[in-house]
Chains A and B, each alone.
Chain A
Amino acid sequence: MRRLLTVLAALMTLSLTNCGYNAIQTNDEQVKAAWSEVVNQYQRRADLVPNLVNSVKGFAQQEKDVLLGVTNARAKVGSVQATPDVVNDPAALQKFQAAQSELTGALSRLLVVTENYPQLKSDALFRDLMSQLEGTENRITVARNRYIKSVQEYNVGIRTFPNNLTAMAFGYKEKANFTVENEREISVAPKVDFNVPAPAPSK
């Protein structure tokens, strides 16, 4: 009897490893890690914004609308939840992404405006903030790409046979992923820009 149980336990273990239970766990964790990196980098950008706004204010006070736009977008970003559960909820991810895109758009408008202030552009503090912003935008891009890849891996993992049976048995669902289209349309600058320093590498 005991031997039978042992053999059964062995078979269970083997079948679980072979049916991808462990792979699903690994991929699940990877998605979570990739997501927290995304949130981390977006947070970094949000932390930069107040300094950037203040630095621009010193030289370009009359650009009230643009500055206000950035501040509001920044506030909205802060109000959207970015818990690890977001990855399981497409609607929440959509909301998070919309808020972040709005901030991206507001920031690019701000950068267009700064073009008109040579003194601001040569200001050392502003230049430092700009390189921090550029670096942060690049980190965001990298983190998002890694998140997209890890979600793809996870989703393919739970949809292919035989892992899909394991996923069904344990209730693993597909995870939400970033979309790129609306990001583009939101971040279009309000006026024709011939020579904008791109805040982020274009997708």
Chain B
Amino acid sequence: MRALSVVKALLATLFVCLAAIALADVAVPQLTGRVVDQTGTLSSSDIAGLSQKLKDLETRKGSQVAVLIVPTTQPETIEQFSIRVAEAWKIGRKKVDDGALLVVAKNDRKLRIEVGYGLEGSLTDVTARRIIDEVITPKFRSGDFAGGIDAGVDRIIGVINGEALPVPQPQASHGVDLDIDSISSFAPVAFFGAIFLGGVLRTLFGRLLGSLATGGAIGILTWVLVGSISLALLSSVAGLVIAFIAGGLSSTMPSSGGRRGGWSSGSSSGGWSSGSSSDSGSFSGGGGSFGGGGASGSW
């Protein structure tokens, strides 16, 4: 009997949780390509054509534009949903912020052009609104979704073409780019680590060998913590030099030979920069940021 009531309670809890799931916000879709269609509205040839256009734009101007079609954004407004998508996808180049996103919520009959900071000057709210009202929604009203999106994307590309943007850099393929954040968070730890470790190793191996060992150790540590070979080499050389110089300073003084409590350098390992895969088929955002610029409309 008791077991039955427990089961009931569990079922009730489950039901409440499921209800909560039903009310939760729509999850941000995976960025699988330049065109993400969760409704099956576009044919594969439509998607291929659009993707090619947008890919050409990126190679020519460096600007990234993506299209997303979802059934609904409920319970959020399309504005809330699309800024979340934009923040997650990060399309557009980092620091240039030249990304734009066309979001269509098919069942809500709402759409939005979300504009990155860098394009707000040319793809203004007014321009975005006109593209929606004059180009896209008339076609949507007659049920021509592919045509509307295609025409809208053409207009967006046309506007971006007129914008003076930094010339796109050909993808550098050597090594991992140095992550400034991880360097700055790791540098002080490495510096004092080098001095400290250098002191220990010099007493064991003598000045030159000790310094070399220190450099090696620091390098390996950096490699493990930050995960970047080039940075590891850099810091190992620095470690060597620091340990050597510190050795020169301390060798002029009587060594105190004090006891050392073992302390662990709980360094915050800086952000792991995962090397971007140079897979030409995949598409990933370049780190552009958005601030809610753009326009919405409905049909």
On whether the beta carbons of B246 and A6 are closer than 8 Å, the reply is yes
Closest A residue to B258 using CB positions: A4
CA distance A135 to B268 in the complex (A): 40
CA distance A136 to B196 in the complex (A): 55
Knowing A1-B256, A18-B266, A128-B126, say if A134 contacts B295 (CB, 8 Å): yes
Closest A residue to B77 using CB positions: A201
User: Using Cβ atoms and an 8 Å threshold, which residues of chain A touch B295?
Assistant: 131, 134-135
User: Using Cβ atoms and an 8 Å threshold, which residues of chain B touch A4?
Assistant: 256, 258
A191 contacts the other chain (Cβ, under 8 Å)?
no
User: Using Cβ atoms and an 8 Å threshold, which residues of chain A touch B266?
Assistant: 14, 18
User: Using Cβ atoms and an 8 Å threshold, which residues of chain B touch A127?
Assistant: 129
A142 contacts the other chain (Cβ, under 8 Å)?
yes
A128-142: CB near B (< 8 Å → 1, else 0) gives: 100110111011111
On whether the beta carbons of B292 and A139 are closer than 8 Å, the reply is yes
User: Using Cβ atoms and an 8 Å threshold, which residues of chain B touch A7?
Assistant: 196, 260
With beta carbons under 8 angstroms apart, the residue of A41, A135, A143 that contacts B125 is A135
On whether the beta carbons of A141 and B79 are closer than 8 Å, the reply is yes
A64 contacts the other chain (Cβ, under 8 Å)?
no
Using a CB-CB cutoff of 8 Å, which residues 138-182 of chain A contact chain B? 138-143
On whether the beta carbons of B189 and A14 are closer than 8 Å, the reply is yes
Knowing A141-B79, A143-B292, A201-B77, say if A3 contacts B199 (CB, 8 Å): yes
CA distance A135 to B189 in the complex (A): 46
CA distance A131 to B123 in the complex (A): 13
On whether the beta carbons of B185 and A131 are closer than 8 Å, the reply is no
Inter-chain CB contacts under 8 Å: number? 86
Closest A residue to B297 using CB positions: A131
Q: How many chain-B residues does the 8 Å CB contact rule pick out?
A: 37
Knowing A18-B266, A131-B126, say if A37 contacts B196 (CB, 8 Å): no
Residues of B within 8 A of A (CB): 77, 79-80, 83, 124-126, 128-129, 185, 188-189, 192-193, 195-196, 199, 246, 249-250, 253, 255-256, 258, 260, 263, 265-268, 290-296
Given A22-B185, A138-B294, 18 new contacts (CB under 8 A): A2-B249, A2-B253, A3-B253, A3-B255, A3-B258, A7-B196, A10-B193, A18-B268, A41-B291, A128-B126, A131-B125, A132-B125, A135-B292, A135-B295, A138-B292, A142-B290, A143-B291, A201-B79
Residues of A within 8 A of B (CB): 1-4, 6-7, 9-11, 13-14, 17-18, 22, 37, 41, 127-128, 131-132, 134-136, 138-143, 201-202
- 8 A-B pairs closest in CB distance: A135-B125, A10-B192, A142-B292, A131-B129, A139-B292, A201-B77, A201-B79, A138-B292
| Selected A-B contacts with CB under 8 Å, 30 pairs | A1-B256, A2-B249, A3-B250, A4-B256, A6-B195, A6-B196, A6-B246, A7-B260, A10-B193, A10-B195, A10-B196, A13-B188, A13-B189, A14-B192, A17-B188, A17-B267, A17-B268, A18-B266, A37-B291, A128-B126, A131-B125, A132-B124, A134-B125, A134-B295, A135-B293, A135-B294, A139-B292, A141-B292, A142-B290, A142-B291
